Chain A
Amino acid sequence: QKEVEQDPGPLSVPEGAIVSLNCTYSNSAFQYFMWYRQYSRKGPELLMYTYSSGNKEDGRFTAQVDKSSKYISLFIRDSQPSDSATYLCAPGWGGGNKLTFGTGTQLKVEL
């Protein structure tokens, strides 16, 4: 079993849709939870950073962490074609830089 499981997609949605991206993890020591967006052939771009359980909102993006069920979610409201990318969840422990990434979910937002 991988430490972080993420549906690779691809996930295709119409413009304006609400997108739900999810990860599960197995290591209860994870304390930090990050979401990255990665465009093709580029480095990952940090979208959201949360510590422990709860919700965090930033513009059209909302991150949810449920440590009791080891479940991480990212919601994108009013999705745009520019949101088309691969989304990577990355929990970490003992320091924000020791991240364990999921395989990433490929999202395509269509006009």
Chain B
Amino acid sequence: DAGVTQSPTHLIKTRGQQVTLRCSPISGHKSVSWYQQVLGQGPQFIFQYYEKEERGRGNFPDRFSARQFPNYSSELNVNALLLGDSALYLCASSLDVNTEAFFGQGTRLTVV
């Protein structure tokens, strides 16, 4: 079975631009969460979605938004990019909100 897949793997954006990151969960998993990992730090929780509804939001500005589609895939959008948004963005999926979370390989975003 395929694991959590994220696209793209790398991208470079300019300050002020907008970016959309994509995630496909493990087949059968209905919950998707997004994390930001800055170099040298642990991942930080951004959003959790379950059955297309937002179930949790971390301490991130409104420039960050996300959604989950009927097939349980998800997108993370970041507007008005700042240099500090440069990080590895990780998607995790789980069967539901109370089970183990499995991570994808991440999207490495560089803002210049």
Contact = CB atoms under 8 A, between A and B. Distances in A.
A99 B45 contact: yes
Given A95-B55, A95-B56, A97-B48, A103 B41 contact: yes
A34 B103 contact: no
Interface residues of B, number: 31
Nearest to A102: B42
A46 B43 contact: no
A102 B41 CA distance: 8
A36 to B, nearest CB: 7
Contact of B104 (A8, A43, A101): A43
A10 to B, nearest CB: 12
A98 B106 contact: no
Given A101-B44, A103-B41, A49 B100 contact: yes
Nearest to A104: B42
A45 interface: yes
A63 to B, nearest CB: 13
Nearest to B100: A49
Interface string A80-111: 00000000101010111111111110000000
A43 B90 contact: yes
A52 to B, nearest CB: 13
B33 A98 contact: yes
Contact of A96 (B4, B42, B100): B100
A56 to B, nearest CB: 12
- The 10 residue pairs across chains A and B that have the minimum distance between CB atoms: A101-B42, A95-B97, A43-B103, A97-B33, A43-B105, A49-B100, A44-B103, A97-B101, A43-B106, A101-B43
